[in-house]
Amino acid sequence: MEYWKDENEPIKAFVKLFEAAMVDAELTGGLKKVNQLILFDYTEDGPNCSFWVDCRKGELKVGPGKPAEPPDMTMSLSADDAHRSWSNKLNPVMAITRKKIRVKGSATGLLKLAPKLKKVAAIYVTVLKDLGWEDKILA
């Protein structure tokens, strides 16, 4: 891994990112419209390198590891490419077409949120700063 010292660091950052994003009404509304249980699978970087977001039933939940139920969608990529994506330095649509991101299930709803990546990236920078990881911020 280029940006992370172990498999726990990215999961800590990404879970905190989603927790922070759930405070933003615009992002929350968009996530609720996705209405899926999503697994972000970065296990090529370690067996515990994954987290989930549950956008079903008008609720939003996030947690480390794999969800208790089978996900509706799985996004598989490296933790480094996820870092680039959340930093708005990797276009998710292009990454999917170039097979940097592999999707199992329908990503249509999630891809509708791609225009919000600048806002997500700003939240992500704040999360990295809060964690004391300014050195991970991509310029």
Which tens digit of pLDDT belongs to each residue from 55-104?
999 899 999 999 999 999 999 999 999 999 999 999 888 898 999 999 99
| Comparison of pLDDT for 46 and 116, the residue scoring more | 46
As a whole-number percent, the residues of the chain with pLDDT over 70 amount to 100
CATH number of the domain that residue 75 is part of: 3.30.1050.10
Domain containing 94 equals 8-125
SS3 category, 103? strand
Please state, rounded to an integer, the average pLDDT across all residues of the chain: 92
Q: Which residues contact 120 (CB under 8 A, 6 or more apart)?
A: 17, 21, 27, 86, 88
135 belongs to a structural domain: no
pTM of the complete model: 0.91
131 belongs to a structural domain: no
- Strand 73-76 and strand 61-64: pairing? unpaired
Average pLDDT over residues 28-47: 91
Number of structural domains the chain divides into? 1
21 belongs to a structural domain: yes
138 belongs to a structural domain: no
